[in-house]
Structure 1
Amino acid sequence: MTNDRPYIICLMMTSLDGKILGEKWGDSPGVNTLRASFEQAHDEIGVKAWIVGRTTMEKDFTDYEKPILKKGHQEIEKVDFVAEHNSESFAIALDGSAKLGWKEATMQGDHVITVLTEGVPDAYLAHLKDIGLSYI
């Protein structure tokens, strides 16, 4: 790309039936070759951000941790929160129901940004702010 405008490249590794990764993927040589090709393309493109849904993030990255929220009512304004960070790359999680149990704001060196809905509890937003995790 020759201009400075942002752009999106969708680099996806999906099953033929479009379902979430499952036991069908296994650890076969074919799957391992596909996974290696996917990671090579990821590196060659120079990806600065990646995005997955809640189910994938929960299964593969947060190990099904549940949010630990402080007791008491904290009223948080429902606006985007951009935490201070030094990252040049980002992990984006789609989590409309506030189910992911974040313990820190970085993952594999990437600053985490979570995409929420306006219906998430204030206590969850307070938790994300406390650990320095950005949300929109």
Structure 2
Amino acid sequence: MRPFIICHMMTSIDGKIVEDHWTAPYDGTENDETTISYYDLSDSFNCDAEMLGRVTVQRHFAKQEFNAPHPVIAIDPQPFIGKRETKRLCIVFDRHGRIKYEGDRICGENIIVVLGKKISQAYLEHLRSLGISYVFAGEDGNDLVEAMESLGHFFNIKRIVLQGGGTINGAFLENGLINELSVMIYPGIDGRKAAPSLFDWSPRTDNSATGEPVLVKGNPAAGQSLELLEVKNAGQGVIALRYKIHHHKNHKQ
């Protein structure tokens, strides 16, 4: 029931993903011309949906914050199926409901929001008023397996292209939910130590749903290994790499 997930990202030579700080191509080509192959390759995967994290969406598409003066937590919230008019859907992970939308689409694609169940009734009403679908990832928004199963069950989504940022990529890596990794290496350097990377994972030291300590792994990629499937020259100095991710028996799935 869970979708097949391809994590598809473009990075600088040093693995950074915020293109604003990458060095420019040597021949004077604009960055936008060099990175267009990223979107072409994403489309070629023929996925039912693309998936983005909250930070990425607020950086590029919906910068306003949702604020309710006196939020009331929703009682027994259930998934909602909104508008389904576009061929591909855009899944947004926003467990606390922080993004304020102005319409039901991002990049021309109908939106599905993934939330934690401890969400305000006002936020659910905001999404429904725009025809935006939503599902849940457990009480605190960290149950990615539940979210993927809901997307498969309610929306018949079979293939997803996960396009970051680094935090959501790291969460999916930790949970062993990525089936393939597609990395396009841009011919430039970022150089900043703390800049967002392809995978930005930080261990949680407590369970936000119960307040109890939780066991965390030291390596989110433990029990996984990469098999190179393809190497391509994507033009403009960009190299495209594609890997199959093998999940060993001792890794949770």
TM-score category (smaller protein): 0.7 to 0.9
1:40-65 per-position Cα deviation (integer Å, ceiling 9, x unaligned): 21122223311111111001011x11
1:10-29 CA-partner distances (Å, limit 9, x unpaired): 21223556555163136654
Q: 1:26 to 1:111 in 2, by over 3 A?
A: farther
Kindly indicate whether the alpha-carbon contact (under 8 Å) linking 2:83 and 2:104 is maintained by their aligned counterparts in 1: no
Give the % identical residues: 28
1:125 aligns with 2:124: yes
In structure 2, which of residues 8, 13, 16 is the aligned counterpart of residue 11 of structure 1?
A: 8
Matches within 5 A, 1:78-93: 78-93=77-92
Using the TM superposition, name which of 94-103 and 67-76 deviates more. Answer: 67-76
TM-score (norm: length of structure 2): 0.44
* TM-aligned CA distance change 1:90 to 1:34, over 3 Å: same
| Aligned pairs for 1:14-53 within 5 A | 14-15=11-12, 21=18, 23-25=20-22, 28=25, 29=29, 31-32=31-32, 34-53=34-53
The equivalent of 1:112 in structure 2 is: 111
Residue 92 of structure 1: how far off its partner (Å): 1.0
- Deviation, 1:31, is 4.2
- Structure 2: how far apart are the matches of 1:54 and 1:34? 25
| Structure 1: runs of 5 or more not aligned | none
User: Does the CA contact (< 8 Å) of 1:95 and 1:114 recur in 2?
Assistant: yes
* TM-score, normalisation: structure 1: 0.76
For 2:43, what is the secondary structure of its paired residue? helix
CA RMSD of aligned residues (A): 2.8
1:8 corresponds to which letter in structure 2?
Answer: I
Q: CA offset at residue 134 of structure 1?
A: 0.4
SS of 1:12's partner is strand
**Contact 1:95/1:115 (CA < 8 Å) preserved in 2?**
yes
* Residue pair 1:97, 1:117 contacting (<8 A) in 2 also: yes
In terms of Rg, which structure is larger?
2
